[in-house]
Amino acid sequence: LLGPVRYRQGMDLYFKRHDGQAVTIDDFVAAMEDANQVDLTQFKRWYSQAGTPEVQVTSSYNQGTLILSLHQTCPPTPECKEKLPFHIPLRLALFNTQGQNLVPADTLLELQEEQKDFEFPNLGEKPVVSLLREFSAPIKLQFPQSSDDLIFLLKHEQDGYAKWDAAQRLVLNTVHQWLQEPKANWILPETLKDAFDYVLNDNRLDMDLRAELLCPPGFEEISAPLHAIDVAAVEEVRTHFRTLMGQELYEHLQRIYQQLWETEDHSMNGFAYGRRKLRNLCLGYMMKANEAQAIDMCRQQFVSARTMTDQIASFSCLVNSKDILRRRTAIDDFYQQWAQNDLVLDKWFAIQASSDRPNVLEEVHLLMKHPAFSIKNPNKARSLIGAFCMANPRNFHALDGSGYRFLREQLLTLD
C-alpha cells in the first residue's frame, strides 16, 4: 500500500520513536501513518478480525472497456459473526494478445468496501487479467478464468506468484473435472500438456521457478473446495495426473534430467538448489510414468548422491517403487549409511510412513519395533506416527478405519 520508499520512511520513524522499547502493533502502524500522512484505521482490521477474507471477482468487457466487479466476504468466527470490510490491496496487470501490459506495472486496486467496480476504458482489445500479483494480500481469490487465459498467464506473465497460481488452477480445473467423471474419461487436455512442456523447456526461467510451476497441487489443495471428500478418488486423480503428464513429456524430462545431472557440481548456492529441484522433479515424473525405464537412473542417483537433497529425492522414489527388491535394498542401504545420525533417520522413518503404497500401516507397525525408534522420543514419534497420519491420506483414511484406530492407540500410549 505504501511502496518501498514510504514504507522505509515509516520504519525510520518507528525506530526513532521506539528503539529499545516494548511496543505494540498499534505503535508500528502509528509510525507508518505519521511518516506518510495516511489513515490506516481500516487496515488495522487485519489485526483485530480473525479469518481469511474471500474476494469474488467477475469481469465484463464491452467496446474497449473492462469492468472488474469485486466482492469481499469473511466467514464468521466464534468471537465475531459479522466482519467489517478489510482494506485489501490487489496488484493487477492487463495483457494484450502480444503479452504486453496495458496498465502501469505498479497498478494497485484497493478494495475497501464490501463491493466495488473498477473500470478500465480505452483498451482496444479484451485483455487477459492477472490479479493478486506478488500475492499482494493474504486472501482467497475466486476468479473464474478460462483455460486459455490461464495458459496465457503461465506463458507470458512475468510475476512468479501469478504464473504459479495459473499453473495450479489449470491442474485443479482438470482434476476436479475428472472427479466428476468415470476414470475412462480421465484424459489429459492437449493444451495443458503443451503448457507444461513449454515451461519445462523455457530456459529463460529460473530452474527453481520451473520446478514450482510443474509441481501439481497436493491432496489438501485438491480437497479444499470439495463438500464431500472421497480420499481414495482424490489420491487416484493425483497419481493419474502425474503418470499421464510423465508419459507425455517423458523424452523431454529424461533429456533435461540427464543434462542437469551431467552438470551437477554439488555446489551450495541458489542456482544449484534450483538445478537439483528441477532435476528431482523430472525424476519423480519419470518414475510415475515408466518406472521400469527410470528405476536404474533413480538407483544410480541414490548411490552416487553427494547432497542430502539428491539422496532423499531418489530414496523417496525407490520407497514408492513397485520393485520390492529395489525398494528393500534402498531402505536397508540408507539405514546402514546413516544409522549414526538421528536427524537423518527421522527422514528414513518419515519417508516410509508417508509412502502411498497399499498396506503401509503394516510396515509402520514393524518400524515401531525397530531399535532406532522410541515413542518417547518426540522427533521419532513425529517422523513415524505423525508422517503416517498427516502425510499419507490414502492409508490414514482407509475405509476400514485402521488408520484411525492406529492413531487412537498411539494417543492413548502417549497420554
Does residue 335 sit within a domain? yes
Whether the per-residue pLDDT at 265 is higher than 90: the answer is no
Paired with 69 in beta bridges are: 58, 117
The predicted model gives 342-360 an average pLDDT of 96
* pLDDT tops 80 at residue 264: no
- Asked if residue 387 belongs to a domain, the reply is yes
**Average pLDDT, integer, range 287-300:** 97
Split into its structural domains, the chain has a count of 3
Is 156 found in the same domain as 121? no
Query: Nearest-CA neighbor of 219 among 171, 160, 153?
Result: 171
pLDDT at 271: 86
Rg (CA), the chain: 25
Residue 45 lies inside a defined structural domain of this protein: no
Q: In this structure, what CATH number is given to the domain that contains residue 365? A: 1.25.50.10
pLDDT tens per residue, range 201-242: 999 999 999 999 999 999 999 999 999 999 999 999 999 999
140-142 and 54-62 strand pairing: parallel
Residue-wise pLDDT for 271-282, tens only, equals 889 999 999 999
> Which domain range does residue 173 map to?
147-414
Query: What is the chain's mean pLDDT, rounded?
Result: 96
pLDDT category at 80 given cuts 50, 70, 90 is confident
* 179 and 70 in a common domain: no
Determine the pLDDT at residue 415.
Answer: 86
Domain boundary among 144, 173, 200: 144
Examine the domain organization and report whether 231 and 181 are in the same domain.
Answer: yes
Q: Identify the pLDDT of residue 46.
A: 97
If asked whether residues 221 and 356 sit together in one domain, one would say yes
Is the CB of residue 252 less than 8 Å from the CB of residue 200? yes
pLDDT at 278: 97
Write the single-letter amino acid at 202: D
Quick one: 171 and 26 in the same domain?
A: no
Q: What φ, ψ does residue 400 adopt, rounded to 5°?
A: -80, 0
Task: At 385, list the grid cell.
Answer: 506416527
Considering the chain, what percentage of its residues have pLDDT values greater than 90? 95
Looking at the structure, tell me whether residues 298 and 223 fall in a common domain.
yes
Q: Are residues 364 and 281 in the same domain?
A: yes
Q: How confident is the model at residue 267 (pLDDT cuts 50, 70, 90)?
A: confident
